[in-house]
Structure formats: structure tokens, C-alpha cells
Amino acid sequence: MELRRVTPQPPPADAESVTSQSLCEQYESGATVAELVATSGLSYGTVLNRLHEAGTVMRTSWQTRRMRDGQARHNLAARLRRLYEQQGATLTELATAASVTRRAARRLLIEAGGTPRTAQQTLRIRSAANAARRMKLALSLRARYEAGATVPDLAAECSYSVGTVYRLLHQAGTRMRPKHNHGPARAPRKRP
């Protein structure tokens, strides 16, 4: 297991030129607070204050080690890409899954060859998945209805309203029984 080290650079002539944002970017790239202290010439407390000022989400030491380990980082990036592309996860969900910031999750996604989506694209992916689940449920309800179950029974089993069950049955193209006829669906009569 090879750890990547940030090479300390000589401190800048003017410590005030080190911005909170630049410290945040270095930290999110894998630098530790101690390394930022060494490279910036600022005190430990000042570096922490500037990181908090920039809204940086702090890591634990094990998260830093995992992030800096090349193979572990590669595996994490690949896992995040699968979540993003196959399950339609958002960047916020990726950040939560990896215990990193949204920005770091986005960077890992790009490292793995993923392409960030727009919010509209994510909504389309999620609504398509919801539509597929809804159609699967509708077909399941149709099969049970055609086997003789009543709409109120189906509603009680699924914890849906009767109206929702009717909508799902119609969506599945179910041939409805006449009211108060609780047997299996009959074939239509042929006219002479």
C-alpha cells in the first residue's frame, strides 16, 4: 500500500496571501492539516479557522488515509460511479456514501470516468425508475385482481387508497368486473 505525500513547499513570504479557499481545495485534495501548516506557514489554529471559514467538512484520520491510498481511492471512485450511473444517485448521496464533501465526491466521480449530470437529467432518471416500479406493481395487482381479489382487499394489502388501486389497475389495462361481483373476471359475451 503506497501513500501519496504532499511535498511541503517553503512558506510564502506573506501568510495573508493564503486564502481560505485555497486551503480548502488543498485539504479536499487529500492534504492533512499538518501539511497545510507546513506549506502555508500559518499556525495550526489559523489553518483550522480558515478551513472552517471556507465551509470545509473535516475528515477523520482514517478517511484521509483511505482517500490518499491510491487503490482505495480508485475503488471508492469506481463505487461512486456505479452508484451514480446505475442507481441514479445524486452528488449529495455520493458524498454521504463516501463520507466526503460534494465537491470531493464530484472529483472522485470524474476521476473514475463519470460525467456529472444536470439536476434535470437526474430527475428524468429517477422518474423513469419510479414509472417502472409503478408498472410492475400495477401488473402484480392486475394478476391478483383477475384471480378474484377485490379492490378494497388489494388496497388494504398494499396500504394504498382504493382510488390508487383503481388507477393502477386501469394503468395495467385490467378488465374490470361489474360492481359487487367478487369472482374471477369473466370472458365477454359474444353477440349473435
pLDDT of residue 46: 92
Query: Would you say the C-alpha torsion 42, 48, 49, 52 has a positive or negative sign?
Result: positive
Residue in this structure with the C-alpha cell 374490470, named with its chain if needed: 176
Q: Looking at residue 185, what DSSP letter applies?
A: P
Element (H, E) at 92: helix 91-98
pLDDT of residue 1: 46
Question: Count of alpha carbons within 13 Å of 173, Cβ hemisphere only?
Answer: 2
pLDDT of residue 127: 79
Residue in this structure with the C-alpha cell 464530484, named with its chain if needed: 106
- pLDDT per residue, tens digit, the chain (192 aa), is 454 555 555 445 455 678 888 888 888 877 888 888 988 889 999 999 999 998 888 888 877 777 777 777 888 888 888 888 887 888 888 888 888 888 888 998 898 898 888 888 878 877 777 788 889 989 999 999 999 888 898 999 888 898 999 999 998 999 888 776 556 666 667 776
**134 burial level (CB within 10 Å; 0-12, 13-18, 19+):** middle
Model-level pTM?
Answer: 0.40
Instruction: In whole angstroms, give the CA distance from residue 103 to residue 92.
Output: 9
Instruction: In whole angstroms, give the CA distance from residue 164 to residue 152.
Output: 11
Task: Looking at 31-90, list the stretches that DSSP marks H as alpha helix, in order from N- to C-terminal side.
Answer: 33-40, 44-53, 61-68, 70-86
